[in-house]
Amino acid sequence: MTEYTLNGHKMRFFNKRQWAVAVSRTANCQLLLPTLISKLSPIVAHHTPVLLHESIDGLKINPEGVYVDLTFGSGGHSQEIFKKLKGGKLIAFDHDEETKQNSINDKRFVFVHGNFRFFKNFLLYLGFKKVHGVLADLGVSSHHFDKKERGFSFRSDGLLDMRMNKSAKLTAAYLVNNLTPEKLSKLFFEFGEIRNANQVAQLIVKTRNVKPIETTFDLCKALSQVTPKVNEHKFLAKVFQALRIEVNAEIEALKEMLTLTPEMILPGGRLVIITYHSLEDRLVKNFMRSGNFEGKVESDVFGNIHGVPFKVVNNKVIVPNENEINNNSRARSAKLRIAERND
């Protein structure tokens, strides 16, 4: 707990937000509330966890167990996991250091500022050889989209950045201004699944030859000739998705993380993952079903299957219901898959 002053008296609160609420309830401080809230972290207030109850139920939590949230973000999933723990532990990872502000103030909770592709090394360093469950929500947090200076959204003008980890060097601006037409085309075709990827690449090169593409609106303007009027947002979302995936090496990180899970999850433990586009969902589905990314299941001459570390819990993928989608449009493309570690 941290000490704050309330009406001239020193009092202890769990965090600054709790203090702000207490201040707002005093009659002589009502006018201060907007200023107080504006100085607090915007992450919690602007993010609704997707498939929250379905994913937490999927973990089948042991109150004394050790659990890992690989994508801490605003802490929504972690808070629900933590509610079900008694003597257990929760380790949360995020490579955006800003999310540390949402940490749970309890000795049973550990926040790790790092990429989940290295989660095994971090866990071993912390003294955890095995865990009872791992959860990952692969979506981009709402606060990333909402902060225009991060450059994740085509809806607002900001520097073309897209780094999850702000200390990383590679930015989306560097990619669009330096990659060859061939590499740009491959990037948009593979990571954005854009059919006219060659045209997109050529327009970017044509634009940057006149003036560097520095902002999100610069990029949108450069692609105006090939942006369909009917599905404008869908097309631009694919363009920005492709750049974001490349900037943050998301596919490589996902593959590395998945290959570590059989070694780190105890028999009977659960792997719960929420995906948002077909590239990552295909990898997750194949890995859960076969233990590899190609989806190939190996069997002996008698038909016995070998080398599959997980068994799929939900054969039919879980998606948000209509009510959740109406309340949170960013949940529309979410898919939840759950697997259990074989003995």
Per residue in 12-65, pLDDT tens? 444 555 555 454 544 433 443 333 333 334 344 446 799 999 999 999 999 999
Q: How far apart are CA 291 and CA 308, in angstroms?
A: 5
User: Does 217 have pLDDT greater than 70?
Assistant: yes
Give the model's pLDDT for residue 96.
87
**300 vs 198, residue with greater confidence:** 198
**43 vs 236, residue with greater confidence:** 236
Give the model's pLDDT for residue 44.
41
Ramachandran quadrant class, 328 (left: phi over 0; alpha: psi -120 to 50; beta: rest): beta
User: Does 271 have pLDDT greater than 60?
Assistant: yes
Largest Cα span, the chain: 80
Arithmetic mean of pLDDT over the chain: 87
Assigned architecture for domain 46-142+250-341 = 3-Layer(aba) Sandwich (3.40)
User: Does 258 have pLDDT greater than 50?
Assistant: yes
157 burial class (0-12, 13-18, 19+ CB within 10 angstroms)? middle
| % pLDDT > 70, the chain | 83
User: Does 317 have pLDDT greater than 60?
Assistant: yes
Give the model's pLDDT for residue 54.
97
**213 vs 148, residue with greater confidence:** 213
Strands 9-13 and 66-69: unpaired
pLDDT-derived band at 329, boundaries 50, 70, 90? confident
> Residues 339, 136: contact at Cβ < 8 Å?
no
User: Does 84 have pLDDT greater than 80?
Assistant: yes
Integer-rounded Cα Rg, in Å, for the chain is 22
Give the model's pLDDT for residue 39.
39
User: Where in the chain are the domains?
Assistant: 2-40, 46-142+250-341, 169-247
Domain over 169-247 is classified CATH 3.20.20.140: no
Cα dist. 331→93, 127, 139, 325, 334 in Å?
Answer: 22, 35, 9, 6, 5
Query: Any idea what DSSP says for residue 215?
Result: B
Give the model's pLDDT for residue 13.
45
**190 vs 41, residue with greater confidence:** 190
User: Does 318 have pLDDT greater than 90?
Assistant: yes
| % pLDDT > 90, the chain | 72
Which parts of 199-334 are beta strand (E)?
A: 265-275, 298-299, 305-306, 310-312
pLDDT-derived band at 148, boundaries 50, 70, 90? confident
Give the model's pLDDT for residue 109.
98
